[in-house]
Amino acid sequence: MTTGAAAGSPPRPRARRLLRNLDPLLIGTTLALVAFGLVMVYSTTRGGPHPFIFLRSQLVHLVVGVLVGVVILAVDYRSLAAGARGLYVLNLVLLAAVLVLGRSSLGAQRWISLGPLGQFQPSEFAKLAIVITLAKHMADRPGPYESLVDLLPFLAHIALPMVLIFRQPDLGTALVYGAILLGMLYAGGARRRDLATLAAGAALLSPLAWHVLKEYQRRRLLVFLDPSLDPLGSGYGIIQSKIAVGSGMLWGKGLFAGTQNVLQFVPEHHTDFIFSVVGEELGFIGALVLLGLFFTWLARGLRIAVVARDRFGALAAVGIVSMVAFHVVVNIGMTVGIMPITGIPLPFISYGGSALMTMLWATALLLNIGMRHQKILF
């Protein structure tokens, strides 16, 4: 006869088993990136009359992002697949609303004012919405993808959101969509030659887009090729950013001691060009540490994609990794002059509440997929 302790002991709670599958390295890396970002936001904005106003706003969005992230973590990620159609429609409605109700800044109309709650940028949340809805679409049509025709439904999936984004105009976010699509198609089994054909087609059509771009966007592309064409105008940001990064040398000038930052020679140094402040104040070593954190974050995301229990989870993880990788490469590239200025923020680091919350929710979704990578048995 078995004892009560051996035969009648209750099973370990399901929540505890799920939490055991959380990726501590991904959590730790995310915390480190967020902390790094808060320090740099303060460093870049402390010279104003209200030195803590930007940091306070970022902290508020951090708290909201974490609270919603906990909810995302608690709900099985497969429930997001069930609501993908509604999420896609909601995404289109919000992007269209920006064109009617949006607030303009620096030549772009991207924000919806929420009064005392600040500004809401739907295009940031749209990135994660596209990842989720496209993952569901591809999971429902698993292929094989034997020709370009088989990829057309997925191209159509992102076409309308891309058009709405481009109308704001927000070329950078539209390009993010393309990076997400290519990454997910590759992971989903599309042939390399078909992906190469798509990339070549986009390159061939790019001259036609020149006539659609706004004047300031054209100037940005021209000064990328030769900043000396407008050294005091569109080329000013690239020139000053390269000076700031180079002046940091190996160890940097010291935290809060960057002259380019303090004297505000670098425009938008708390958002688009925040990496130039990292390079100036923390030097090559500090920049290398930041790149190491991003590499670790991306590597853990890819691991989660590999161990995901279903196609939807794997594709969503790949989409998130593709999104963040593109952000990092393009943002850092434009601060050192090897990429054109597109207004893409540096994940977790640049100032911006909508961008920070989106990255936190993307991380929560990754953790959710990894946490449920194996079936829980009772």
Digitized pLDDT (tens) for each residue of the chain, 378 residues in all = 344 444 444 445 667 777 788 999 999 999 999 999 999 999 988 877 788 999 999 999 999 999 999 999 999 999 999 999 999 999 999 888 888 776 655 555 566 766 555 677 888 999 999 999 999 999 999 888 988 999 999 999 999 998 888 877 777 888 899 999 999 999 999 999 999 998 888 878 777 766 667 776 777 777 777 777 667 666 777 888 888 888 889 999 988 887 766 656 677 778 888 999 999 999 999 999 999 999 999 999 999 999 999 999 999 999 999 999 999 999 999 898 888 888 789 999 999 989 999 999 999 999 999 998 865 433
User: Per the structure block, which two tokens stand in for 349?
Assistant: 């680091």
Residue at token pair 């994660």: 128
257 within some domain? no
**Helices of type H across 210-273:** 215-225, 236-247, 259-262
CB contact at 8 A, 342 and 216:
no
In total, how many domains does the chain have? 1
Angle between helices 171-188 and 311-335 (to 10 degrees): 140
What's the pTM?
Answer: 0.89
User: Per the structure block, which two tokens stand in for 70?
Assistant: 């906990």
The kind and range of the H/E element at 113 are strand 108-113
Strands (E) across the chain are located at 103-105, 108-113, 119-120
Question: How far, in Å, CA of 184 to CA of 321, rounded?
Answer: 10
User: Per the structure block, which two tokens stand in for 248?
Assistant: 């940091």
267 within some domain? no
**Domain, as residue range, for 186:** 48-235+291-334+346-371
CB contact at 8 A, 123 and 95:
yes
133 within some domain? yes
189 within some domain? yes
297 within some domain? yes
CB contact at 8 A, 120 and 112:
yes
